[in-house]
């Protein structure tokens, strides 16, 4: 039974194999037969395209053309990829610089920095003949082509061949704009390829009028001017909307090569080029010969630029750096910056520095000085970075490279008072002290035994702050200096208490401002507000003014009383101002390389540094001599014609309000006293200052005469 079943299974398996073999044979036959029929049909179809004879030669040539075209397209695509990358971010080239117009606290222009640029004028507001002059000269088919003008390129090629020189360019306005917005000025084949593709991209994304507006705003026209609006103000002293035909023709001629055709470089060449532009306008059909005759006979005249030597250049350089930090990342490049700068105080500071150096600089072998003046909120009112900006643009007022000497001691005493263990009346030993092998000595090499902190500070005794630093630790002293306004780092050495640290005049004034303000931090501020050319507020310092207390009122009071005593009975007596509560501290470094006086009143904080750029020793110059003299000269002038405010923590009644006025009887602006009470000595001092005030009146009148018509939101700071 089992055998029968096995035999049955074998028969079934054999039958299945026979069936599969039969199916495989028949399927293979059918497949190859179908393949043969398909090939036959393919041959029948291809026979239709069989070309012979002359027609075959034509087809072969056409085939090669298409092949090379495909290869060229792939090559162009590979070259265009970098151009596509340029537009990936959707952002234009960042300007190499920004354009800033700086105003003083009263709204008068005091100078400019960066490029000159103005994109506030709409295309519809530009003179029609300026647009036509530009199109006639740069791109007559601008409204007809798609970014690349092949007809214009061919015409330029023919003209250049005939002249055997490059007399005409083939780049369209769109191509020129592509270079300005996305590319560098290098002359390479790859850049031209990028330029072509970018031109197509610009045409696809902007209207013709938008492209023309961008071109007028971004084109470079020489002397740091970008755009026709800025250039019109610079070259002709007028709004671009007021340009004459002759002036518009001169502008249109400058697009090609401003370095050659700018009127301040070569007026004859500029006028000759403008005459060519007028001819182009006639040839293009925009004007008739009769309409341009007057412009030919009366060519444009550029204005002579005012001498900018009187600009507060050291202050402007610093304010420029601060402004760039604020606007960094914005799309606009042109701004109007309102500062806290006071031209009157600036001239007082400059005159005090220069006159003192002239009178006594040779005697003390000192050649340089710097000064910074702020109000009690840290707003910088004046800055003198050196004697002559024309000879040296190095700003000594903001560079943290000099040691303050004893002017650093207020930080030592302030931290001692914060411990609660000391007051100005506390006593301490003035006797030899050593830290390791370092044994500092007093200025006169003598010691007074037991002294009060008030007496030690007033006489600038060196051993006392060293002893205090051993009690409080040196790191808290460094922290105090940084807390009050010293921004740069310095090593914490055993001589730190005597001012062996690199600081700037600006930071020292800011730090002393904390004492003057009653304990509040007064960071130095150059800028009160920034607007773009449309008047939109970009930055307003009022939004960021948060008063931070860094000293207790008690510590600030102690320090002010001690610094007041310095100018009354100590090393800073030359800085005392009659009728004005002032306080401060002298500073002199070893070997007499640096001399300082930093101090304040209830109105202003000011710091003076004197020394030599090459670090040569002076002739025993101390902070209590020339620096204190400069400081006193300035403060005397600065407090005329203002309300003298009391000084925090100091019991002193300021002098009465003194007003200076110009009278019809005295055109030289001799100052007369209006105050009900005036001491004879003060009256004599005012008369001595009449020349200075006369100078300031002339300065104000000049500023008013030169003031540009700039709309600035808001009133006096």
Would you state the pLDDT for residue 672? 31
pLDDT band at 159 (very low <50, low <70, confident <90, very high): low
More confident residue, 230 or 562: 562
- End-to-end Cα spacing for the chain: 121
Q: What is the pLDDT of residue 359?
A: 95
Nearest to 564 by CA among 638, 458, 668, 469: 458
Percent of the chain whose predicted confidence (pLDDT) is above 70:
79
Question: Across residues 356-362, what is the average pLDDT?
Answer: 95
pLDDT by residue (tens digit) across 250-281?
A: 989 998 888 788 888 889 999 999 999 999 99
Closest CA to 647 of 586, 565, 702: 565
> Residues 419-445: pLDDT tens digits?
999 999 999 999 999 998 889 988 878
How many helices and strands (H and E) does the chain possess? Answer: 23, 14
- If you average pLDDT over each of 49-53, 83-87, 504-508, which comes out highest? 504-508
Dihedral over Cα of 553, 555, 557, 563: its sign: negative
- The per-residue pLDDT for 716 is 37
Distance between CA atoms of 607 and 572, rounded to whole angstroms?
13
CA 561, CA 473: separation in Å to the nearest integer?
24
Cα–Cα distance for residue pair 150/308, rounded to 1 Å: 47
Please tell me the predicted confidence (pLDDT) of residue 429: 94
Q: Indicate the pLDDT class of residue 67, thresholds 50, 70 and 90.
A: confident
By DSSP bridging, strand 225-226 and strand 116-117 are parallel
Cβ atoms within 10 A of the Cβ of 626, count? 26
pLDDT digits (tens, 9 = 90+) for 275-313: 999 999 999 999 999 999 999 999 998 887 654 446 798
203 is catalytic: no
Question: What pLDDT band is residue 534 in, cutting at 50, 70 and 90?
Answer: confident
- Looking at 226-288, list the stretches that DSSP marks H as alpha helix, in order from N- to C-terminal side: 228-236, 245-254, 258-261, 267-283
Going by pLDDT thresholds of 50, 70 and 90, the confidence category of residue 501 is very high
Helix H or strand E encompassing 556:
helix 553-569
The hierarchical CATH code for the domain 121-297 is 1.10.3810.10
- Percent of the chain predicted with pLDDT > 90: 53
Note the pLDDT of residue 537: 93
How much is the pLDDT for 145? 87
Mean pLDDT of the chain: 83
Q: Look at residue 113 in the predicted model and tell me its pLDDT.
A: 86
Q: Which of 317-331, 349-363, 532-546 has the lowest mean pLDDT?
A: 532-546
pLDDT digits (tens, 9 = 90+) for 553-571: 999 999 999 999 999 999 9
What's the pLDDT score for residue 707?
Answer: 47
Measured CA angle at 99 (ends 93, 104), to 5 deg: 160
Q: What is the pLDDT of residue 690?
A: 44
pLDDT in the model for residue 392 = 85
Half-sphere exposure of 585 (CA within 13 A, CB side): 32
So what's the pLDDT on residue 161? 57
Among residues 86, 117, 138, 334, the one annotated as catalytic is 138
SS3 of 54, please? helix
Can you give the pLDDT at residue 409? Answer: 97
Residues making up the chain, counted from first to last: 717
Write down the pLDDT at residue 65: 81
- CA dist 231 and 240 (Å) reads 8
Choosing from 99, 199, 406, 469, the catalytic residue is: 406
Encode pLDDT of 362-402 as tens digits. Answer: 999 999 999 999 999 999 999 999 998 878 889 999 998 89
As a whole number, mean pLDDT of residues 126-133 equals: 93
pLDDT in tens, 97-127: 688 999 999 999 998 888 777 778 899 999 9
pLDDT computed for residue 160 by the predictor: 54
CB 626 within 8 A of CB 366: yes
Cβ distance 226 to 219 under 8 Å? yes
Rounded alpha-carbon distances, angstroms, from residue 122 to 49, 86, 175: 61, 27, 21
Active site includes 138? Answer: yes
Q: Which listed CATH number (3.50.50.60, 2.30.30.40, 3.40.710.10, 3.30.70.890) goes with 405-502?
A: 3.40.710.10
Contact 471, 453 (CB under 8 A): no
State the residue for tokens 């204005």: 303
Report strand pairing: 604-611 vs 427-430: unpaired
CA dist., res. 254 & res. 173, Å (int): 14
């Amino acid at each position: 039974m089992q055998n029968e079943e096995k035999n049955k299974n074998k028969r079934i398996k054999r039958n299945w194999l026979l069936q599969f073999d039969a199916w495989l044979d028949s399927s293979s036959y059918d497949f190859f037969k179908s393949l043969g029929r398909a090939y036959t049909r393919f041959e029948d179809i291809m026979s239709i395209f069989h070309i012979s004879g002359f027609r075959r030669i034509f087809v072969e040539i056409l085939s090669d053309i298409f092949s090379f075209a495909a290869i060229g397209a792939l090559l162009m695509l590979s070259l265009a990829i970098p151009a596509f990358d340029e537009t990936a971010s959707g952002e234009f080239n960042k300007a190499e610089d920004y354009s800033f117009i700086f105003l003083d606290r009263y709204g008068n222009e005091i100078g400019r920095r960066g490029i000159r640029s103005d994109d506030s004028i709409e295309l519809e507001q530009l003179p029609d003949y300026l647009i036509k002059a530009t199109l006639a000269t740069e791109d007559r088919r601008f409204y007809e082509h798609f970014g690349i003008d092949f007809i214009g390129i061919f015409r330029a090629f023919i003209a250049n061949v005939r002249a055997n020189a490059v007399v005409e360019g083939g780049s369209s306005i769109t191509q020129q704009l592509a270079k300005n917005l996305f590319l560098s000025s290098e002359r390479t084949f790859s850049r031209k390829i990028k330029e072509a593709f970018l031109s197509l991209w610009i045409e696809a994304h902007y209207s013709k009028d938008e492209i023309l507006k961008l071109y007028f705003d971004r084109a470079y026209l020489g002397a740091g001017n970008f755009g026709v609006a800025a250039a019109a103000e610079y070259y002709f002293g007028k709004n671009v909307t007021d340009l004459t035909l002759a002036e518009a023709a001169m502008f249109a001629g400058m697009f090609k090569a401003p370095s050659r055709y700018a009127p301040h470089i070569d007026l004859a060449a500029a006028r000759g080029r403008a005459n060519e532009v007028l001819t182009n306008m006639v040839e293009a059909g925009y004007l008739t010969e009769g309409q341009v005759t007057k412009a030919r006979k009366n060519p444009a005249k550029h204005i002579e630029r005012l001498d900018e030597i009187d600009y507060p250049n050291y202050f402007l350089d610093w304010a420029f750096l601060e402004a760039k930090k604020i606007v960094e990342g914005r799309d606009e490049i042109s701004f109007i910056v309102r500062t806290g700068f006071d031209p009157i105080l600036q001239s007082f500071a400059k005159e005090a520095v220069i006159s003192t150096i002239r009178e006594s600089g040779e005697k003390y072998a000192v050649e340089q000085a710097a000064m910074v003046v702020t109000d009690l909120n840290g707003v910088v009112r004046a800055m003198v970075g050196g004697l002559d900006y024309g000879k040296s643009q190095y700003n000594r007022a903001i560079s943290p490279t000099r040691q303050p000497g004893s002017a650093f001691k207020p930080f030592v005493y302030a931290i001692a008072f914060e411990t609660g263990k000391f007051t100005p009346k506390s006593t301490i030993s003035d006797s030899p002290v050593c830290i390791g092998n370092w044994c500092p000595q007093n200025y006169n090499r003598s010691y007074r035994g037991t002294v009060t902190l008030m007496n030690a500070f007033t006489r600038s005794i060196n051993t006392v702050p060293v002893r205090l630093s051993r009690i409080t630790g040196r790191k808290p002293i460094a922290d105090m200096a940084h807390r009050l306004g010293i921004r740069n780092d310095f090593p914490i050495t055993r001589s730190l208490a005597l001012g062996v640290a690199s600081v700037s005049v600006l930071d020292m004034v800011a730090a002393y401002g904390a004492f003057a303000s009653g304990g509040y931090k007064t960071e130095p501020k150059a800028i009160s507000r920034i607007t773009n050319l449309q008047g939109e507020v970009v930055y307003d310092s009022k939004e960021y003014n948060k008063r931070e207390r860094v000293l207790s009122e008690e510590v600030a009071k102690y320090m002010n009383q001690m610094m007041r005593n310095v100018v009354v009975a100590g090393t800073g007596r030359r800085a005392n101002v009659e009728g004005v509560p002032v306080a401060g501290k002298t500073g002199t470094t070893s070997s007499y390389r640096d001399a300082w006086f930093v101090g304040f009143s209830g109105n202003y904080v000011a710091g003076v540094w004197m020394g030599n750029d090459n670090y040569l020793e002076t002739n025993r110059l101390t902070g209590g001599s020339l620096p204190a003299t400069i400081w006193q000269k300035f403060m005397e002038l600065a407090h005329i014609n203002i309300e003298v405010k009391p000084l925090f923590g100091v019991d002193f009644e300021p002098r009465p309000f003194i007003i200076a006025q110009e009278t019809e009887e005295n055109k030289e602006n001799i100052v007369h006293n209006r105050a009900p009470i005036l001491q004879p000595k003060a009256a004599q001092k005012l008369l001595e200052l009449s020349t200075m005030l006369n100078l300031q009146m002339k300065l104000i009148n000049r500023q008013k005469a030169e003031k540009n018509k700039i709309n600035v939101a808001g009133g006096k700071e």
